[in-house]
Amino acid sequence: MYPKAGNNKIYDLVILGGGPAGLTAAIYGGRANLSTLVLEQMVTGGEIATTDQLENYPGFPQGISGAEFGQLLEQQAVRFGAEITSASIEEVDAEGDVKRVSTSRGDFYSRTLIIATGTSPRLLGVPGEEKYRGRGISFCATCDGFFFRGKKVAVVGGGDSAVKEALYLTRFAREVILIHRRDELRAVSALQKQILGHPQVKFLWDTVVTEFKGNQNLTTLIVKNVKDSTSAELSVDGVFLYVGRIPNTSFLKGVETDPQGYIITSEEMETPVPGLFAAGDVRRKFLRQAITAAADGAVAAMMAVRYLE
């Protein structure tokens, strides 16, 4: 038996995740007069809210801070009638006409669902990583960079995130050491141009971190050169890990994903489950950016409208 609307409300659209994909879906859902609820675990804006500057979103020629961008999306979604609730998602039952989302705040019911839960940082899985998480190991330069004013920090990874955040950290840290497992960066050339030759940045190429050590706080990285297998100790005050991301789909059962766990959808954001859509970084796609997330969110919401009709 499903709960009756009004008692335990059945929404037209529940959106899991309040990043650019989820909040854009909420804007479109609200404007289409759907009763719309966004469930967000952390802060609205999602991953982008922890980015210092968003430089490539059309319409902001001078860039915009990630936090401000997130707030603007939220205001716009609320203006069109969307509700936003903070809750962490535990389980989703998307079969049937009314779908159930079990969360830390109880169960929510909806006729359509959009999964826009994005991704989380990938871990290295080496000794000391859990122990020193928040005690010298960080995943957010924008949040924690300030604490390393005048200090020596390392950044692990060679992609856009690692390079962008390493550059951001040069505002605070006296020295930034970028540790990459190959001898060539993966980041786009515009970012490479900024970091290669930067006076505050040193590079440890062909190198991986094999252990995090310290006392109460992290003090030392054990690093290994993958070419000659030699290991060395590197003293640091902090380290920022940017070694890629993993999709947030652990609460979802019976939905097709690719081998990395990204949800497979049609070009219209449909999953094989009627009334269940996915949008943004959690979806298998070519380009994971705020602009493509927003576009996915718009399409998913309009597909929800069509499904309800």
Catalytic residue among 52, 93, 140, 206: 140
Torsion region of 191: left, alpha or beta (phi above 0 gives left; psi -120 to 50 gives alpha): alpha
With respect to ligand NAP, which residue has the nearer C-beta, 35 or 161? 161
Rank residues 84 and 204 by Cβ distance to ligand NAP and give the closer one.
Answer: 204
Q: Check if 144 is active-site.
A: yes
Query: Which entry of 12, 144, 160, 296 is annotated as an active-site residue?
Result: 144
Residue 49 C-beta: closest distance to ligand NAP, Å: 14
Estimate the crossing angle of helix 290-308 against helix 20-31, to 10 degrees: 40
280 vs 283: CA distance, rounded Å? 6
Q: What does each C-alpha distance from 245 to 17, 32, 210, 261 come to in angstroms?
A: 16, 33, 19, 11
Torsion of CA 193, 196, 198, 200, to 10 degrees: 140
CA-to-CA separations, 128 to 51, 66, 137, 181, 245, in angstroms, rounded: 26, 31, 10, 19, 20
Q: Based on CB atoms, which residue is closest to ligand NAP, 29 or 297?
A: 297
143 is catalytic: yes
Tell the smallest beta-carbon distance from residue 73 to ligand NAP (Å).
Answer: 18
Whole-number minimum distance, CB 98 to ligand NAP, in Å? 35
Minimum CB separation from ligand NAP for residue 263, in Å?
16
Closer CB to ligand NAP, 245 or 283, in the complex: 245
- Nearer Cβ to ligand NAP (144/160): 160
Please, which residues have CB within 8 angstroms of residue 163's CB and are 6 or more apart in sequence? 178, 185, 187, 191, 192, 194, 195
- Catalytic, out of 12, 97, 107, 143: 143
Closest contact distance (angstroms) between CB of 70 and ligand NAP is 15
Our CB check for ligand NAP shows the closer of 76 and 210 to be 210
Report the residue number whose CB is nearest to ligand NAP. Answer: 159
Interface residues with ligand NAP (CB under 6 A) are 56, 124, 157-162, 164, 181-182, 186, 208, 242-245, 288-289
Active site residue 281: no
Please state the closest distance from residue 90 (CB atom) to ligand NAP, in A.
Answer: 26
The region that residue 139 occupies, defined by phi over 0 for left and psi between -120 and 50 for alpha, beta otherwise, is alpha
> What positions carry a catalytic annotation?
140, 143-144
